[in-house]
Amino acid sequence: MTSSASSLLVIYTGGTLGMVESPDGLIPSHDIEDRLRRTLATLPPSRLASLPDFRVIATPQPIDSSAATPRDWQGLARLIAEHYADVAGIVVIHGTDTLAWTAASLAYQLQGLDRPVVLTGAMHPLEAPGSDALGNLESALRFAADPRLQEVAVCFAGRLLRGVRCRKWQTQSVDAFASPNHPTLGEWVDDDPVLYPGRGLERQQRGAPRFELPDYAPLAAGAVPRIVLWPGLAAWQLEAWLLDERVKGALLEVWGGGNLPDDPELAGVLAQACGEGKLLAAISQCPIGAVTIGHYAAGRPLADAGVLAGDDMTPEAAATKLVHLLAQPLREDERRRRFLTPLVGERAAP
Query: What is d(CA 43, CA 53) in angstroms, rounded to the nearest whole number?
Result: 15
Closest CA to 158 of 138, 120, 132, 188: 188
Query: What is d(CA 230, CA 157) in angstroms, rounded to the nearest whole number?
Result: 34
275, with CB counted inside 10 A (0-12, 13-18, 19+), is exposed
Beta strand 226-228 pairing with 249-254: parallel
DSSP 216: -
The residues, ordered by sequence, that sit 6+ positions from 212 with a Cβ below 8 Å of its Cβ are 108, 109, 111, 324, 328
The residues, ordered by sequence, that sit 6+ positions from 82 with a Cβ below 8 Å of its Cβ are none
Query: What is d(CA 70, CA 139) in angstroms, rounded to the nearest whole number?
Result: 28
Q: Which of 16, 39, 59, 120 is catalytic?
A: 16
Catalytic: 171? no
Closest CA to 151 of 187, 116, 108: 116
Residue 28, strand partner residues: 19
Catalytic residues, by residue number, are 16
